[in-house]
Chain A
Amino acid sequence: MEKVLTKDLQPGGMPLDLKGYEKAGGYQGLRKALKMTPKEVVEVIKNSGLRGRGGAGFPTGMKWSFVPTGKDAPHPKYLCANADEMEPGTFKDRLLMESTPHQLIEGMIVAAYAIEADVAYIFLRGEYIVAAERLRKALAEAYENNCLGKNILGSGYNLDMHLHLSGGRYMCGEETGLLNALEGKRANPRTKPPFPQTSGLFGKPTIVQNVETLCNIHHIVNNGPDWFKGLSKSDDGGTKIYGASGKVKRPGLWELPMGTTIREILEEHAGGMKEGLKFRGLLPGGASTDFLVEEHLDVKMDFNEVQKAGSRMGTGTMVVLDDRTCPVGMVHNLEHFFAQESCGWCTPCWSGLSWAEKMLKGLEEGQGQESDLDRLAFVCRFAAPGNTFCALAPGAVEPLQSALKYFREDFERHVREKRCPWR
């Protein structure tokens, strides 16, 4: 199977410097792109069927096509890499940035060129100190070698790229919260429409794109859309970095064809459950996705199939629940995180999530009541998509609503026994 994003991974995980990266074929996609018109690059990406790897799966090329271009387009235009990887259980972008920083930078330059951006930002999770260090070094190299700055590789195209370390809020991973944070404001989400493509960073046209998505761009330009589609086992093109955490034998990350089944990832790559433990369920794409259970193991991990199974592929990095871990406790842990990370803007989120957290804590501590289960279900409906301002709360209640569905008996035992049966 062909590896794309992880093909240059070095033993020990140290990244290639610019020379090494170029020797391994790096910056060829950029050179090729600079000979094309920006419009042609957008077309290539459109044709490849690349969908955003941050979780929502929005078609990348289509997103770019909304950016105003031409003489009258407002400038400066911006490209932002969303490297604020704060989704619990998700660490795929960290791998890419720590071990292949030039890959992200090259992808970003090509993407920026396609939308005729003038400035690019890497909005990096503050705790990713190693990634920051390596990106900083790679950026300096890229500037030195005229891959960034004025007249990039003699093309006449100018681009500045800055690394910004986040102050550390989950909300900064929401694209408009990210933009507010980058402007130095509270990381509250913004009204959409207008979308960032027309009114984004500092009010100017902006594309915000996940790291893994950006890392694909120059490969697609280099090898063409058909090649990209051919990498996949499903309708969505390309490879995907899948991951597994929890009590499996070999937690980790694997670049696999898009559409690999959950079972294959879990059993072949992660090695199955640890000895003596049984599989109970998993969150397929980070903490803010619905639980899937045994019956879903043969679902293909891509955007459409996981959705049909009642969840979302999200970031593609699954969190596995075993039979010795309390599902209520796990959900409480997650809701504690989400309630804490609510920006405090819309009522269902700041109020609903903290209410849910308190009830789950109560259940865990033996103070739960039968009616709490209805109230938890109410909070899930309360924070449903459309009822909230952004996607944080609907995502936050996904593990809760599905836990109530698949593990209801566990919740009821907490009420009946007035304690957590796992303690």
Chain B
Amino acid sequence: MAKIWVDDKWYEVGADQSLLEACLELGFDLPYFCWHPALGSVGACRQCAVKQYRDEKDTRGRLVMSCMTPASEGARISIKDADAASFRAGVVEGLMQNHPHDCPVCDEGGECHLQDMTVMTGHNYRQTTYPKRTFRNQNLGPLINHEMNRCIQCYRCVRYYREYAGGRDLDAFASRNQVFFGRHQEGTLQNEFAGNLVEICPTGVFTDKTLKKHYTRKWDLQMAPSVCVHCGLGCNTTAAERYGSLRRILNRYNGHVNGYFLCDRGRFGYEFVRGEQRIKQTLARQDGKLKPLPKAKAIEQLGRVLPGNQKVIGIGSPRASLEANFALRTLVGPERFFSGMSDQGSHLVSLMEEILRQGPARTPSLSEIEISDAVLVLGEDVTNVAPRIALALRQSVRQQPMEFTDKLKIPRWLDHAVREAIQDVKGPLFIAAPSATRLDDAATATYRAAPDDLARLGFAIAHALDPQAPDVPDLAAGARSLAEQIAAALKSAKRPLVISGPSSSSAAVIEAAANVARGLAKAGQAVGLAFTMPEANSLGANLMGGGDLSAAFKAVEEGRADTVIILENDLYLKAPAAAVDRFLDAARHVIAIDYLSTPTVAKSELALPAGAFAESDGTLVSSEGRAQRFFQAYIPKDDIQQSWRWLIEMMRAAGRSEAESWSTLDDVIAALAQGISALAKITEAAPSAKFRKLGEKIARAPNRYSGRTSMLANINVSEPKPPDDPDSALAFSMEGYQEHPPPSLTPFFWAPGWNSIQSLNKFQSEIKGPLRGGDPGVRLIEPPETANGSFFSSVPKPFAARPEEWLLVPLYHIFGSEELSRQAPAVAELAPKPYLAVNSEDAAHLQVQAGDQIEVNLAGTAHRLPVAIHPDLPKGIAGFPAGVVSLEGTGLLAWSKLSRL
């Protein structure tokens, strides 16, 4: 702590921060542009100037940039000082010289940091009459819009894009008052985290191009706290609606999870909610086709099928909420409930859960991943599977080098000084994966091999750490020495981390990762073990229990079941098509609840339109084991309702007694917490619907929400009552509590004078730290204090390429591999075309070249794919784009002959 004086009052502030951070933390309104809490200080914009005095006798003082000056003990500053205030107004005046003043037509308007800071400094009139400089804008692809004339040269974009996110194709060009921030030539921004530019840019240079298609001002949006559904990490988002449709996703700060940033899949994948693939009406099979049926009739139909039916089974979903899964489980009974994961997925997720539950390694939050100082990634391409981890790892490699800059007494927040001292030195990061990954440029060493060989490397690292861990016989010398190098790096780290997951479709890889973590823990190290999860609620679904898909198929096959209720799940992505066909054809009744018209829905006799994430309330368990609640941004139109509500109606139709006591989300949560002890803590994920602040519900819409009284004026001038929300403490209105709701119930960040996302500093207990009131979510899995258990011991044999067969391995793509986001047009545009990849040597052997057609034979089905050459793939392995190409339930490691066509 340090004691500082601000305008003659003293305050205690945290040590190791700049005066700007200290002032913002104390609640002062001090304007800034180039500083960003995640990017630190560089002193470019000069906006945050304050007067600093040597001591109490110094009456003259001198201007300093608060972002570049440490809040050291005894520092005396004035924010109000006239010189400082007029200098700050001068800076805005300088910035506005060339700004086009086009707020009315700018997408940033109403949530623009430049607007806010201009008002804050008091600058009003442009005193110059000379022409403004102008630029030519670029098409930066389907995600980001570019409007350079608005630029104020704060350099945040390139600092974020290049220095923080590791991107290369955005740069600052030219100089003086004509610095151009863009690409060397037009084209799609290549970095997977480019979307954050929308929030990083303090004005309207980089804006959300998908929002532009259905634009709405922030003050006209109705918003709700949400959780990303496009991977297992559970990044917190804000879902925003206007006129009954989802308009955009914004990052919702969670100090423990996503911090300030999302990946582009998470930000732009939302358009599936608006897409053509949505089911909006209840559909029933009539004359062999699915046709709309009034909802009441559908309920009647359920009333004919369900009561007394002893042969109903339910297939849950790793992308549906706990509540929806639990409602289905309650409807059909636990023993007739299946988790909805593929056989292999279920097996691997269970294995990972067991490892995490048993310990000794603890699953880290994303913010802990970011500060790990030595990392092993085993069998994962995190950029494409759990993208936000990759951004965290780009920061983790700076941890060890920053110990050196600490010695030079360079404060860590003095960003460019730190970067100039560190240069390209990176801390240990080892990536072992079947193919090249987008993070390889940050890696100390990479290892590319077949899944079994990846596992062998992992086992060898564990053995090098602890001789009690099983050794790996016949390990190649190169792999052996790499294993020793990795073991040494992890062993000498303070916060080592192992990352693995199911993407290599290999239990051995996961077990090897667990062994490495155990080896480190046994040596007394505080090791983190992070597993990626295939879907948004895989871990939750696993904690819920239930058999795998084969078990469900068997129940129908053996005649124990004939009625199947499928919750938010496309079985064709989980099992071979023939098996799913057999299963669905054999069942007498197939009832699907989903928001997308999937092949599974197409096979059902009754399809019930479900609310997508922004239209639903519920809880998801992230790969960290963090249960997080998401809330409806709006009540969906037509027949759409939340899955668990459909299920309550089904329970009622089935005559189930629970239906009587279940009417709200809290009822379902209470029953769930009571029914499943592993999930008991989910009640703590967010306050219940009874919560009130100052006697009010929390408003989903900001104060300035305009047009509220005119939205329906074309129909009726008397305004209808806003819909009730029995399920949450949020109100579908601008009326209600606005200021500082509990973090898990914060629908948007706004503070007086701070209309942009930068208002976050008013919601944090410390800058970059937790939200006031604690970051949302509750961790469900903590390893025991004293961990038992032993090393896994089944070390696989080395991978051996076969003469005329190839091992098919899924390769993941941030855009395309995930089921929901690939329905979003902007994401779909960036998804790869189908391919089958082999290395150059194998291509030569097969006598094929890139683009030639090749045939894959799997379980009697032939798939034709164009060849792609991936020189980095190991010999004997063929890769296909997961999700883009569906090979009999992806995720399967299968051997196939390849034949040239």
Contact = CB atoms under 8 A, between A and B. Distances in A.
A310 B716 CA distance: 75
B408 interface: yes
Contacts of A191: 42-43, 68, 414, 416-417, 420
Contact of A342 (B95, B177, B414, B417): B177
Nearest to A340: B176
A355 B128 contact: yes
Interface string B73-114: 000000000000001001100110110000000000000000
Interface stretch (A90-98, A144-152, A381-389): A381-389
Contact of A190 (B87, B98, B420): B420
B174 interface: yes
Interface in B91-150: 91, 94-95, 97-98, 127-128, 130
B167 to A, nearest CB: 16
B190 to A, nearest CB: 21
A348 B423 contact: no
Contact of A387 (B49, B68, B98, B174): B49
A351 B151 CA distance: 12
Contact of B46 (A342, A347, A362): A347
Nearest to B83: A381
Given A190-B417, A375-B127, A347 B176 contact: no
A203 B416 CA distance: 11
A344 B179 contact: yes
Nearest to A352: B94
Contacts of B172: 186, 344
Contacts of A419: none
Nearest to A375: B127
B423 A344 contact: no
A359 B94 CA distance: 14
Nearest to B131: A358
Interface residues of B, number: 41
B569 to A, nearest CB: 51
Nearest to B423: A203
Given A186-B172, A199-B417, A351 B423 contact: no
Nearest to B171: A186
A345 interface: yes
A389 B45 CA distance: 9
B178 A344 contact: yes
A194 B417 contact: yes
Contacts of B423: 202-203
A354 B128 CA distance: 11
B47 A347 contact: yes
Nearest to A362: B130
Interface string A323-348: 00000000000000001111111111
B63 interface: yes
B91 A203 contact: no
A359 B63 CA distance: 26
Contact of A351 (B62, B94, B416, B425): B94
Contacts of A422: none
Contacts, number: 110
Of the four ranges (under 10, 10 to 19, 20 to 34, 35 or more), the interface on chain A belongs to: 35 or more
Interface in B204-231: none
Contacts of B408: 194, 198-199
B155 interface: yes
A345 B423 CA distance: 20
Q: Which of B46, B416, B417 has the most CB of A within 10 A?
A: B46
B46 A358 contact: no
A353 B175 CA distance: 13
Interface string A194-214: 100011001100000000000
Contacts of A194: 408-410, 417, 421
A382 B87 contact: yes
Contact of A345 (B91, B155, B178, B409): B155
A375 B130 CA distance: 13
B840 interface: no
A419 to B, nearest CB: 18
Contacts of B155: 345
B689 interface: no
Contacts of B90: 348, 378, 382
B149 to A, nearest CB: 15
Nearest to B425: A203
Contacts of B416: 190-191
A304 B167 CA distance: 49
A254 B374 CA distance: 60
Interface in A158-184: 169, 171
B43 A199 contact: no
B423 to A, nearest CB: 4
Contacts of A346: 43-46
A143 interface: no
Interface string A376-412: 0010001000111100000000000000000000000
A350 interface: yes
B179 A350 contact: yes
A11 interface: no
A265 B811 CA distance: 76
A220 B90 CA distance: 48
B153 interface: yes
A193 interface: yes
Contacts of A371: 127
Contact of B177 (A351, A378, A388): A351
A382 B91 CA distance: 8
Contact of B175 (A342, A358, A375, A378): A342
Interface string B37-62: 00000111111010000000000001
Nearest to B154: A347
A121 B513 CA distance: 48
B422 interface: yes
B299 interface: no
A183 to B, nearest CB: 8
A354 B127 CA distance: 14
A382 B420 contact: no
A388 B179 contact: no
A36 B423 CA distance: 34
Contacts of B44: 345-347, 389
B62 A347 contact: no
A387 B410 contact: no
B64 interface: yes
A198 B63 CA distance: 26
Contacts of B176: 339-344, 350, 353-354
A226 to B, nearest CB: 37
Nearest to B174: A344
B94 A199 contact: no
Contacts of B95: 347, 351
A193 B155 CA distance: 21
Interface in B705-719: none
A247 to B, nearest CB: 30
A352 B46 CA distance: 12
Contacts of A171: 175
Contacts of A342: 175-177
Interface in A236-295: none
Interface string B662-701: 0000000000000000000000000000000000000000
A358 B416 CA distance: 32
A400 to B, nearest CB: 16
A350 B409 CA distance: 31
Contacts of B153: 344, 347, 350
Nearest to A388: B46
A282 to B, nearest CB: 27
B43 to A, nearest CB: 6
A355 B91 CA distance: 12
A344 B44 CA distance: 9
Given A203-B423, A358-B130, A388-B46, 4 more contacts: A199-B408, A343-B176, A386-B62, A387-B46
**Interface pairs A-B: 4 shortest CB-CB:** A351-B94, A344-B179, A191-B417, A358-B130
13 contacts: A171-B175, A186-B172, A190-B420, A191-B42, A193-B410, A194-B408, A198-B408, A342-B177, A343-B175, A344-B175, A378-B90, A382-B87, A386-B62
